[in-house]
Amino acid sequence: MNREFRIGTRESELALWQANLVKDMLAEIGFASTLVLIKSEGDVDLKTPLYEMGVQGIFTRSLDVALLNNKIDIAVHSMKDVPTVLPPGIVKGAVIKRGNYNDIFIVNDKKYNGKHPPEGAFSPLRLSGKYDLLAADLHSVATIATGSIRRKAQWLHRFPDHQIVNIRGNVNSRLRKVEESDWDGAIMAAAGVERINLRPKSAVELDWMLPAPAQGAILAACKAGDEDCREALKGINHKATAIAAETEREFLRALMGGCATPISALAIVDNKDVYFKGNILSTDGRKKIEIEKQVSVDKVESLGLRMAADILKDGGREILDQFRNE
């Protein structure tokens, strides 16, 4: 086939890295492609918190329109940004092998004069899940930046006395904002900073913070009727990641959540088993309901739905109702 596929991408360094990864993977199996840059609403408005923007699809909408209008053949997204129900006419073509799914804490080294980690404050052991952590482990006046209501809720559950401030922008601009601020640090996705080689040495892995559904995974979408494109993308699909990400997104969809709700999920496919963990928190972090399950891969179908039903019965419905009222 002589067709050259047009890959749509946002203009940020991370988005371009992801699009080029898909481009290179297609080239390895014999398909030519070129990049087409598309600006998104999420890139234009960098001040309004995501949860106030009607965030579902905020970073994917422009690419979806370009795809449906035949301006591009493939849209590449961070999968956690993709609505759990794709627009009519658009289908999942491939899920790329997952990167680091954890969140990390970016310490404001400038505030601590490069002496990170200061004893008794932001030491890696105190920020990681290796020890039982109380709010006193970090000074009560700490100011933490994040634009994610999910990260905010989980952080406040662990550190209820901290102040949370909003931060928006691409990876590069958020790192710069931390350095120029008087904040103690910011919470970001590990995959984002690692993929473009910007992870600071002082960054701390938040192994106790459950990630957003499909965090660390990349989705390549195409039009439903484009059989050539679907066949090409099938060759770069990573099955284990696809199973894990779709289970997490199924959990999110069943709870009628999006990027703007404090819902987290992680599924890990290990040989013949799938390990699932999910939670939902109140926005202030005071209430938290968790669920955990291990099943064999052959029983993974509808696992996300079953886990969502269980967490609603265990008190999750009250938290969701409270969130909607807010």
Can you list the domains of the chain with their CATH numbers? Answer: 1-97+217-237 (3.40.190.10), 103-206 (3.40.190.10), 239-326 (3.30.160.40)
- Residue 116: per-residue pLDDT: 47
Nearest by Cα to 206 from 309, 106, 318:
106
The residues annotated as belonging to the active site are: 81
User: What is the C-alpha separation between 226 and 229, in angstroms, rounded?
Assistant: 6
CB contact at 8 A, 45 and 53: yes
- Residue 121: per-residue pLDDT: 46
Residue appearing with tokens 């931060």:
167
Q: Is 119 helix (H, G, I), strand (E, B) or coil?
A: coil
- Residue 90: per-residue pLDDT: 92
pLDDT means per 10 residues in the chain (326 residues)?
90 95 98 91 49 51 88 95 89 97 90 52 52 45 90 92 91 94 93 96 89 97 96 98 97 79 94 96 95 96 97 93 80
pTM of the model: 0.86
pLDDT in tens, 4-26: 999 999 888 999 999 999 999 99
The backbone torsions φ and ψ at residue 37, rounded to the nearest 5 degrees and listed phi first, read -85, 130
For the chain, counts of helices (H) and of strands (E): 11, 13
